[in-house]
């Protein structure tokens, strides 16, 4: 039987969706379909064609197709959901819950109809609650519905640490635990540069400032952009997750995963370290937390549960 290229559909052709489509194609992870609603069909097709015309220069053979028809997403291996509204200055991610939950439900119905065997990655905010919404609506097993936030939050943390130490970002490792909100928990004990614990390299007050900047990292970009939220770093994070699944890389990365007892939580999607590979979330890794870290995580969990309580009824 002929070997076929993988298929990745990106739902939502705004800045994040379009950038994700481009990055996924540039890595030749498969053929990409970029989808948006019918009144965005022209711009979506235009963006996709423009990207396709860059492939000879890039030397990649992934195709990129723009569409407003879910039929074109049929049999996708991975579906990335970026659809929905983004926050503007003065808003919290949680202000988006009602509008985006409705959008998640209608998108998920179509994804399930056309790509019943796909892995779904959810970016839309508030990310923990939206991933939960997609999971419930899809009826997919928990390993096939994965939320994005920890790769992004950790990338921000790693950027700030590398800047502080004037070292390669490649050598900085870290872990951000908890919900994708201002209470997220960068775990300093598990962070290092070149294997050297951060606490040996950076003064505690500076570490605290970096943690605070990481927590507010999305808001910092929203404030600077003035009319939307970050897209380059979110798209890079989504691309890493698509690659981890399609190449079965078994990366240990933080994702928003469904918890059934891990970290003492039940029936909750939350940012935790996971092994992400060819079967989606293959394992949730449980870390031993100190009393202080547990208290910080509890606060973050409470914030996520507050948003969950605001989800519209069925
Ligand atoms: C981010 O962290 O950049 C995204 O969640 C977008 C936002 O609203 O902050």
d(CA 153, CA 97): 20
Residue 81 near residue 122 (C-beta atoms within 8 A): yes
Residue spans of beta strands (DSSP E) within 61-195 = 64-67, 78-81, 119-122, 145-147, 172-173, 176-177, 185-186, 192-193
Q: What is the pLDDT of residue 166?
A: 98
Tell whether ligand 1 has an atom less than 6 A from the beta carbon of residue 238: no
Question: Averaged over 14-34, what is the pLDDT?
Answer: 98
Q: What is the pLDDT of residue 313?
A: 81
In CATH, the number for domain 5-146 is 3.40.50.720
Domain ranges within the chain, ordered by starting residue: 5-146, 149-308
CB hemisphere CA count around 18 (13 angstroms)? 17
Residue 146 near residue 120 (C-beta atoms within 8 A): yes
Summarize pLDDT for 267-304 with one digit per residue, the tens: 999 999 999 999 999 999 999 999 999 999 999 999 99
∠ CA 160-285-289, nearest 5°, is 70
Residue 17 near residue 83 (C-beta atoms within 8 A): yes
- Ligand 1 geometric centre to CA of 219 (Å): 7
Summarize pLDDT for 3-18 with one digit per residue, the tens: 999 999 999 999 999 9
Give the residue carrying structure tokens 């092994």: 275
Tell whether ligand 1 has an atom less than 6 A from the beta carbon of residue 87: yes
DSSP 8-state class, residue 136: H
**Residue bearing the CA closest to ligand 1, atom 9:** 218
The structural architecture, per CATH, of the domain 149-308 is Alpha-Beta Complex (3.90)
Tell whether ligand 1 has an atom less than 6 A from the beta carbon of residue 221: yes
CA-to-CA dists, residue 185 to 23, 136, 176, 264, angstroms: 28, 26, 5, 16
Binding-site residues for substrate, in ranges, read 87, 93, 125, 156
Helices then strands, counting H and E runs in the chain, come out as 10, 14
d(CA 67, CA 80): 15
Summarize pLDDT for 47-97 with one digit per residue, the tens: 999 999 999 999 999 999 999 999 999 999 999 999 999 999 999 999 999
Summarize pLDDT for 104-137 with one digit per residue, the tens: 999 999 999 999 999 999 999 999 999 999 999 9
Residues 6+ away with beta carbon under 8 Å from 301: 178, 179, 265, 268, 270
Quick one: 162 exposed, middle or buried, by C-beta within 10 A (0-12, 13-18, 19+)? middle
Residue 139: how many CB atoms within 10 A of its CB? Answer: 10
Q: What is the pLDDT of residue 42?
A: 97
Tell whether ligand 1 has an atom less than 6 A from the beta carbon of residue 156: no
Residue 82 near residue 15 (C-beta atoms within 8 A): no
Q: What is the pLDDT of residue 312?
A: 87
Summarize pLDDT for 152-173 with one digit per residue, the tens: 999 999 999 999 999 999 999 9
Residue 15 near residue 231 (C-beta atoms within 8 A): yes
Structure tokens at 292: 């202080």
State phi, psi for 284 to the nearest 5 degrees.
-95, 125
d(CA 50, CA 264): 48
Residue 150: how many CB atoms within 10 A of its CB? Answer: 27
- Ligand 1 geometric centre to CA of 221 (Å): 8
């Amino acid at each position: 039987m002929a070997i076929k290229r993988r298929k990745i559909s990106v739902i939502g052709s705004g800045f994040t969706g379009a950038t994700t489509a481009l990055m996924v194609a540039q890595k030749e992870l498969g053929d990409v379909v970029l989808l948006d609603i019918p009144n965005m069909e022209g711009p979506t097709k235009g963006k996709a064609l423009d990207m396709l015309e860059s492939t000879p220069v890039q030397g990649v053979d992934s195709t990129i197709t723009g569409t407003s028809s879910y039929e074109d997403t049929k049999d996708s291996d991975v579906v990335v959901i970026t659809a929905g509204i983004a926050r503007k200055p003065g808003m919290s991610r949680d202000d988006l819950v009602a509008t985006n939950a409705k959008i998640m439900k209608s998108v998920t119905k179509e994804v399930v109809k056309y790509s019943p065997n796909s892995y779904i990655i959810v970016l839309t905010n508030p990310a923990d609650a939206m991933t939960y919404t997609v999971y419930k609506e899809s009826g997919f097993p928990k390993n096939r519905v994965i939320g994005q936030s920890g790769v992004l939050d950790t990338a921000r943390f790693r950027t700030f640490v590398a800047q502080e130490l004037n070292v390669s970002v490649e050598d900085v490792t870290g872990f951000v635990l908890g919900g994708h909100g201002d209470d997220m928990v960068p775990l300093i004990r598990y962070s290092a540069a070149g294997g050297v614990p951060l606490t040996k390299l950076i003064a505690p007050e500076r570490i605290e400032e970096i943690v605070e900047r990481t927590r507010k990292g999305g808001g910092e970009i929203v404030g600077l952009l003035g009319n939307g939220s970050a897209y380059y770093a979110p798209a890079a994070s989504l691309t890493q997750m698509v690659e981890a699944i399609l190449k079965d890389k078994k990366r240990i990365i933080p994702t928003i995963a469904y918890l059934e007892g891990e970290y003492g939580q039940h029936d909750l999607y939350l940012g935790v370290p996971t092994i992400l590979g060819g079967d989606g979330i293959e394992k949730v890794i449980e870390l031993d937390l100190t009393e202080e870290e547990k208290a910080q995580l509890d606060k973050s969990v409470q914030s996520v549960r507050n948003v969950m309580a605001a989800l519209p009824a069925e």
